[in-house]
Amino acid sequence: MPTGLTVMRTPGVEAGVLLCRFETQGPETAPIRDEHTRIHRDAFRVVDFYAPDFDAAVQHAREAGFPMATSEASYQLAEGSFREAHHAGDDGVVVALLSGPADFFVDFAEVRDRVVSEPVSISLPLSDAAPTIGWYAEVFGWEVVYTYDFADTSFSELMQVEHELRVRSSTIGPSRQQTYVNIVDYGLAADQGGSLLGQAVAPRRGLLGLVVLTDDLDDVIGRAGGSAGPAETVELAPFGRCRMSVLVPPCATPHLVIERRGEL
């Protein structure tokens, strides 16, 4: 179990980040991703934020000490032109700034009047997407809310690969208006990217898993069956005394489900 949990919520919305601190040190605490595994499948890879003014957001990040570490990508989707830049942070965590048509992001970002939005998505490249997509539908009631498909040299350069990637994505979530999981296929052959299946295990560092909020933990555990761990009760600000359980879907990345209840 972690020795500390810190919730960082985006003001005005539920979306945010849960930081886990572990006191254990040693080989088992190495980052899930590093320069050798940055495009491997079967573990979360990038947290995406919408930047209404892309250039201003990139400059703001640079001045705050978090420069975009790779080249910028510019690519075309059916809805228009998009720009993307990445910051490669500590523990193998990559943050992406995204920008595009403002009317498009009305659906995908609640916060659109600040330097960046709340986290709009977290990318999950998978070797076999179908079992996890089915699990999300069965356990959380999530569906595919958006799909896209493109190939662009600038994106391949952003990802620091020599060959051009063909990006296909199914975005999974409760709706377009809430943070979603971006299940992505980079078009890599089997010998062009390995798998991190089963390696997103505490106390490994990095994008360990996903937090999901629910109003009925017992219902979620019941639908998850054998993929759900036991319910635990903890004190966690800002939720107060709450119940939670760790679920492990077919992609083997942990999902911490927290029940929205102030007291038991």
- pLDDT per residue over 77-132, tens digit each? 999 999 999 999 999 999 999 999 999 999 999 999 999 999 999 999 999 999 99
Output the pTM of the full model. Answer: 0.92
**pLDDT tier, 3 (very low <50, low <70, confident <90, very high otherwise):** low
Fold of 32-192: 2,3-Dihydroxybiphenyl 1,2-Dioxygenase; domain 1 (3.10.180)
Section 155-161 average pLDDT: 90
- pLDDT per residue over 172-212, tens digit each? 999 999 999 999 999 887 677 799 999 999 899 999 999 99
156: left (phi over 0), alpha (psi -120 to 50) or beta: alpha
- pLDDT per residue over 30-84, tens digit each? 999 998 898 999 999 999 999 999 999 999 999 999 988 778 999 999 999 999 9
DSSP output for 32-92: S--TTTTT-BSS--EEEEE-SSHHHHHHHHHHTT----S--EEEEETTEEEEEEEEE-GGG
139, 174, 88: which is closest to 247 by C-alpha?
A: 139
